[in-house]
Amino acid sequence: MFSVLVSQARQQGIKLGEHLTNPLTTQCVVTNGIEFMFMCYQLNTLSMQEEHGIKNIAWTSNLKPLAKRKKKRMAFYECLPQALQSSDFDKECFRILTSFVCQETV
């Protein structure tokens, strides 16, 4: 996420060592097909030498299973139909996943 945002900032003409006038943000879903981690990154500066002042920020969630597994290791696309009918389904994980996927981009 950091590399993508630095690339975008450089394309906008921001030089290394400068602060961004408008922060750049991105989000990411990391999964092994069963557990999900949600991440956001905000790039505020390309100045990495300063100890004080403006900093870049990263947020991350803990690993969240979409559903409790009872048998073998099943990937997201395999367990989703069964999980939706199960009480073991984690609605909060699914809510966060859909909000990440459905969020509009600029």
The answer, yes or no, to whether residue 67 has pLDDT greater than 80, is no
Q: Which two tokens stand for residue 47?
A: 């100045």
More confidently predicted of 93 and 77: 93
For the segment 78-104, the average pLDDT, to the nearest whole number, is 75
Identify the pLDDT of residue 51. 84
pLDDT reading at 1 higher than 70: yes
Residue ranges making up the domain that contains 49 = 2-102
For the residues 53-81, what does the mean pLDDT come to?
A: 76
Domains contained in the chain, number? 1
At 92, is the pLDDT very low, low, confident or very high (cuts 50, 70, 90)? confident
Residue 10 Rama label (left phi>0; alpha psi -120 to 50; beta): alpha
Q: Average pLDDT over the chain, rounded to whole?
A: 85
Report the distance separating Cα 97 and Cα 63, nearest Å: 12
pLDDT in tens, 16-66: 999 999 999 999 999 887 789 999 999 999 998 888 889 999 999 999 888
Instruction: Measure the N-to-C terminal CA separation of the chain; round to a whole number of Å.
Output: 16
In this predicted structure, the answer to whether residue 75 has a pLDDT above a threshold of 70 is: no
